[in-house]
Amino acid sequence: MGLHYEQYDAEGHESSLSRKYGLRDVVVSDPEAAKRDKGWGFVARVYLGGQNVTLDLSRFRHTLTRLHARALRVRSLHPAP
């Protein structure tokens, strides 16, 4: 299918969790540590079920630029018939 994964790590201020826990809480400041310490149930409840992300479009722009450049490269290698 030609799918490509592009990593984008939301920062604390982009997460609704920052309003609930605060920017300095480990849940927001170090999600990997919070996941290790609190387990899958916590991850499912807090990150997957209780979080909304509002993208910082200035930061996300760089991700979109990379994706667009990749799409143009792929299209030039495999032009439509």
pLDDT tens-digit map of 10-59: 999 999 999 999 999 999 999 999 999 999 899 899 999 999 999 999 99
- Tell me how far apart the alpha carbons of residues 44 and 37 are, in angstroms, rounded to a whole number: 14
Q: Give Dmax over CA atoms of the chain in angstroms.
A: 54
pTM of the model: 0.74
Domain extent at residue 20 = 12-77
- 2 occurs within a structural domain: no
Number of folded domains that form the chain: 1
Q: Measured in whole angstroms, how far is the alpha carbon of residue 23 from the centre of its chain?
A: 17
pLDDT bracket for residue 80 (50, 70, 90): confident
pLDDT bracket for residue 81 (50, 70, 90): confident
Cβ–Cβ under 8 Å, residues 61 and 69: no
3-state secondary structure of 24: coil
Whether residue 1 has pLDDT greater than 90: no
